[in-house]
Structure 1
Amino acid sequence: MENYKGVIAIIIASILWGTTGTAANYSPNVSSLAIGAFSMGIGGILLVITARRKLLVDYMIILAQPKLLILGAASVAIYPLAFYTSMRLSGVAIGTVVSIATAPFFEAILEHLISKKNISLQWILSFVVGAIGIALLTLGREQSNNTASSINQQSLGILLGCIAGLTYAGYSWAAKRLIESGVHSKSSMSGLFGCAALFLLPSLWFTGDNLFSSSTNALVSLYMAIIPMFLGYLLFSFGLIYINASKATLLTLIEPLVATLLAVFIIGERFKVIGWIGVAFVSLCLLMQTIKPQEQL
């Protein structure tokens, strides 16, 4: 029963995260770097404020693991910059799909090589199904044009999505390791995000010109920081108490599903039949992971 609490919390967080690409689309004159830095930076500050009492208890344990802290904070700082730029270049659906779908792969490698955890058959099968779904979804997007610049732009977006997936897995793994060392889940996540905010927020001096240039830009910026980032990561840190980080990142495959639906019905991105078959495969992957949660990966 405890595992189900973690599963539900992470699914809700993933739904919130799935709205970010569509929300950012309403501020096209705001740099993707600014959107990522502001949302993750302000979200990190809010997490620190919320978890300040836990942090005062746990900060010595966190500082005693500087390599883990640096890895996690650097991953948090890089992730939103790569993620939002990936969506801007390759489209909301594909940028989100690639970023999230590659995270379980990197996460499993970290836990297997460093934490020496075995990978269950259930995880392998569900990941294969999910990977096939991601590939079909990526191939199924209808392109408005096929120029070399457009293809190069999408390729760069996919590469940045892979970088986002790597850093997403990196901070998820670091947060879980901190929790396993005795740090409260709120302290773990807020500590990493708070350190990342020290880098992200000053970068707005160079990139954040249009963040509040209109009421729409202001509303989008505040929504991104408070709802998907702050509330979403509170739920995510709660979920990490009950399930492994690799399973958590695999469950977040629901995020690209939400992002894809919003991109199609609100933004107007279009997909061929093969793309919708990919959506079905990713949905099956989620079902395989949530029907019977296990203690293994």
Structure 2
Amino acid sequence: MKRLLPYLMIAAGASLWGIIAVFVKELADYGFAAMEIVAIRVIYAALFLLTIGLLKYRKQMKLKQALDIRLFIGTGILSVVFFNYCYFTTISQMNISIAVILLYTSPAFVTVLSLIFLKEKLNINKILAVLGTIIGCILIAGVSAGDSNITLLGILTGLGSGLGYALYTIFGKFALKKYQPFTITLYTFIVAALFLLPITQLWQKLDLLMNTNVLLYSIGLGFIPTVLAYFIYTWGLEKIEGSKAAVIATVEPVVATLLGVMLYGERLGLIQIAGAFLIFCSVIIVNITFRKKGVKRVEQKIS
């Protein structure tokens, strides 16, 4: 059981990411726009992380240089804010199932961006993964032209969420050269919160934010699929290879898809399922590299 526990924790963390749409849809029903929901998520997450940091990780709360804040502008604004805005917009435009499938185009974006910025080499697996992702997206978008649940804006923001998700990996790799994962996560959400608070002016909706249901959904959004999911995933990540964790984490779109089917009555057509299957396979393929003496997974997911 002890050997299985890290794998179960990875799956549990990814599953918690998969239920994020519940909180997003509920807050949207109360009249919050996508960017306001992003602000709610990062503000509550920042508060939770600050509390945890003060109690347990004080040494990791210090920045080595003031200029390092620019690293967290990358992870916080260019990635987390952009990714969440696109993802939440996609959820409001289309089925949860399609939204999370498009989100999982991120490994293809990581492959391309790593080639450009990190000078990582391409191999046959990565090329196949990118091609599989592209074909999968074409199948999902192309056959849905007459589907009222599919919109051009939704497709574009869905791909944008994949790009934003990928950017966290790129900026995160640079930040990891100097800081621990907790430090990166803490300042990512602090920067994102400070950036969004004046833009969204959430204080103008203070009465609504104090509504009992809204408060519970807001706290839940900031804690359950954000802070709690991060800590569970990270605990498991410390015990097993990051590449294995990345493959196990593909349970996230499965959970999100089942959630859409069971709670919201969503359905996918056969060709859309084929497109989703190609994207899921691409996520797994990009984490596999073949060697003469077997198979070894080498990519690591930064979440």
Q: Out of 79-88 and 122-131, give the one that drifted further.
A: 122-131
Q: Residue 213 of structure 1 corresponds to which residue in structure 2?
A: 211
Would the aligned equivalents of 1:18 and 1:255 in 2 still touch at CA under 8 Å? Answer: yes
3-state SS of the aligned residue for 1:111? helix
Would the aligned equivalents of 2:114 and 2:120 in 1 still touch at CA under 8 Å? Answer: yes
Would the aligned equivalents of 2:89 and 2:157 in 1 still touch at CA under 8 Å? Answer: yes
Would the aligned equivalents of 1:72 and 1:171 in 2 still touch at CA under 8 Å? Answer: yes
CA shift in 2, pair 1:86/1:280, >3 Å: closer
Distance 1:99 1:207 in 2: 30
Per the TM alignment, residue 45 of structure 1 is displaced from its structure 2 partner at its CA by 2.5
| Counterpart AA for 1:205 | W
Aligned pair count? 283
Matches within 5 A, 1:172-187: 172-179=169-176, 181-187=177-183
Would the aligned equivalents of 2:75 and 2:168 in 1 still touch at CA under 8 Å? Answer: yes
Q: Residue 122 of structure 1 corresponds to which residue in structure 2?
A: 125
Q: Residue 72 of structure 2 corresponds to which residue in structure 1?
A: 69
Would the aligned equivalents of 1:178 and 1:188 in 2 still touch at CA under 8 Å? Answer: yes
Does structure 1 residue 271 correspond to structure 2 residue 278?
A: no
CA shift in 2, pair 1:141/1:210, >3 Å: farther
Does structure 1 residue 191 correspond to structure 2 residue 187?
A: yes
CA shift in 2, pair 1:100/1:276, >3 Å: closer
Cα deviation digits, residues 224-277 of structure 1 (max 9, x gap): 111101122334556777547xx9878755433322221122101222122223
Q: Residue 95 of structure 2 corresponds to which residue in structure 1?
A: 91
Distance 1:218 1:140 in 2: 40
Matches within 5 A, 1:129-140: 129-138=132-141
CA shift in 2, pair 1:126/1:160, >3 Å: closer
Q: Residue 20 of structure 2 corresponds to which residue in structure 1?
A: 20
CA shift in 2, pair 1:273/1:209, >3 Å: farther
Per the TM alignment, residue 190 of structure 1 is displaced from its structure 2 partner at its CA by 1.5
Does structure 1 residue 30 correspond to structure 2 residue 31?
A: yes
Q: 2:220 aligns with which of 207, 211, 223?
A: 223
Q: What TM-score, normalized to structure 1?
A: 0.77
Q: Residue 291 of structure 2 corresponds to which residue in structure 1?
A: none
Q: Where does structure 2 lack aligned partners over 5 or more consecutive residues?
A: 289-294
Q: Out of 50-59 and 258-267, give the one that drifted further.
A: 50-59
Q: Out of 34-43 and 4-13, give the one that drifted further.
A: 4-13
Distance 1:22 1:139 in 2: 27
Per the TM alignment, residue 19 of structure 1 is displaced from its structure 2 partner at its CA by 1.0
Per the TM alignment, residue 11 of structure 1 is displaced from its structure 2 partner at its CA by 4.5
Matches within 5 A, 1:246-257: 253-257=250-254
Per the TM alignment, residue 78 of structure 1 is displaced from its structure 2 partner at its CA by 2.7
Q: Where does structure 1 lack aligned partners over 5 or more consecutive residues?
A: none
Distance 2:155 2:26 in 1: 22
Q: Residue 45 of structure 1 corresponds to which residue in structure 2?
A: 47
Q: Out of 123-132 and 86-95, give the one that drifted further.
A: 123-132
Q: Identity over the aligned pairs, expressed in percent?
A: 25
| Counterpart AA for 1:20 | I
Cα deviation digits, residues 39-74 of structure 1 (max 9, x gap): 222113322332346464463336343432221221
| Counterpart AA for 2:18 | G
Distance 2:204 2:160 in 1: 22
CA shift in 2, pair 1:45/1:183, >3 Å: same
Does structure 1 residue 111 correspond to structure 2 residue 93?
A: no
> Considering only aligned residues, what root-mean-square deviation do their CA atoms show, in Å?
3.5
3-state SS of the aligned residue for 1:190? helix
Would the aligned equivalents of 2:108 and 2:129 in 1 still touch at CA under 8 Å? Answer: no
Q: Out of 87-96 and 251-260, give the one that drifted further.
A: 251-260
Distance 1:71 1:209 in 2: 33
CA shift in 2, pair 1:12/1:197, >3 Å: same
Would the aligned equivalents of 2:13 and 2:228 in 1 still touch at CA under 8 Å? Answer: yes
| Counterpart AA for 1:70 | I
